[in-house]
Amino acid sequence: MPTTTAGPDRQQAELSPDELQRYSRHLPLPEFGRKGQRKLKNASVLLVGAGGLGSPAATYLAAAGVGRIGLVDFDDVETEIERHEMRLTSDNALDVIDDYDVVADGTDNFPTRYLVNDACVMTGTPNVYASIFRFEGQVSVFATEDGPCYRCLYEEPPPPGLVPSCAEGGVLGILPGFIGTLQATEVLKLITGIGEPLIGRLLMVDAKTMNFRTLNVPTNPECPVCGDDPSVTELIDYEAFCGIGDSSSENGTTDDVSDTDQIPEISVHDLKQRRDAGDAPFVLDVREPYEAEIASLGADQLIPVDQLEDRLDELDANPDEEIVIHCRSGGRSAKATELLREKGYDASNLAGGVLAWSDEIDPDVPQY
């Protein structure tokens, strides 16, 4: 049996005749039945990061009969929902999360994962975690009464830029639906109290080999958040903790960003004005070639960021020539800018990259 369950039986609304018919396939299930369906009807789930993972999770949770679903920056679905059209931050996370029985974390970046984890531990809200990358996915249940939290598994975030985002590294199109459905399954198990949720276990899925592995994740008594003597007792600045700057993505989270405080930047408006005036700098695109085929800013040269150091001899710009570097949203180009400046080039980063250009200059440039 699970260590913790959500959606207790107190003052639960009864199922209507229509609901009994709608969920008739659930009612014969052992250990589930009418009682389990009533728990779903009276339960509340908050989906944080309602993108590739959140969309299938929301669909199946609504279809299963979860009564109240909260979505952080998401579109309408046909169930009772509460839209939180905001970015989840240290200022609002505790208040938002404390109003729900279970959180489903499908975010795509480390600052929000640590924020969600810490807020779940502090509010006592189970956190059903899922992540995807290329052909692989992970699912687990954190922040239950007797189980580990995300920091027990990953106490410290990786260095900025070490782990590519899905935009950089790609993801198999079917994988979000696959992993999001597994995530929704764990939510239903927690709410109804059936089966064995992935508490203290990390499910790892390799879609290429269709190999499923389970890694045991013990509770860390020295964990800074859920340990015996926690040192983190209030929410912190998670972007600073993860060593990155403040930039947002479509999920109200961060994506493809880097700390650009010490790196010279130029805005998309400044670049546009200089081009219009015939004073355009040399523009270097450090994305992958397929990205340039999707959306182009008319760069003078394309060299992917991970090849740049080895291909400096191919750079058409002179060391004393002004170079503006861009990528999708500013993270990779910031790293490239830092590299070129170390090599003596007069380089600056195009703030916001393709996304900013599409938002502020030319909406016909695709956002991807």
Sign of the alpha-carbon torsion through 166, 170, 173, 176: negative
Cα separation of 20 and 152, whole Å?
Answer: 41
Residue 4: pLDDT above 70? no
Most confident of 69-73, 154-158, 228-232: 228-232
Q: What is the pLDDT of residue 51?
A: 85
Kindly report, residue by residue over 199-213, the tens digit of the pLDDT: 999 999 999 999 999
Which region among 121-130, 149-158, 243-252, 273-282 has the lowest average model confidence (pLDDT)?
A: 243-252
**Of 120, 152, 166, 242, catalytic:** 166
Q: Which pairs from 228-234 meet CB under 8 Å and 24+ separation?
A: 232/118, 233/122, 234/122
166 is catalytic: yes
Q: What is the pLDDT of residue 197?
A: 97
* Domains assigned to the chain: 17-241 (3.40.50.720), 265-360 (3.40.250.10)
Q: What is the pLDDT of residue 73?
A: 59
Cα separation of 154 and 3, whole Å?
Answer: 22
User: What type of residue is 232?
Assistant: V
Q: Strand, coil or helix: what is 329? A: coil
**Of 120, 149, 152, 327, catalytic:** 327
Kindly report, residue by residue over 138-164, the tens digit of the pLDDT: 999 999 999 999 999 999 998 776 676
Q: Which pTM does this prediction carry?
A: 0.72
User: How many residues belong to the chain?
Assistant: 368
Percent of the chain with pLDDT over 90: 73
Other Cβ atoms closer than 10 A to 106: 31
Kindly report, residue by residue over 268-301, the tens digit of the pLDDT: 999 999 999 999 999 999 999 989 999 999 999 9
Please tell me which residue, 72 or 104, carries the higher pLDDT value.
104
Return the structure tokens found at 280: 């355009």
Cα separation of 299 and 63, whole Å?
Answer: 47
- CB distance 333 to 348 below 8 Å: no
Which region among 90-104, 245-259, 270-284 has the lowest average model confidence (pLDDT)?
A: 245-259
223 is catalytic: no
Distance of CA 325 to the CA centre of its chain: 26
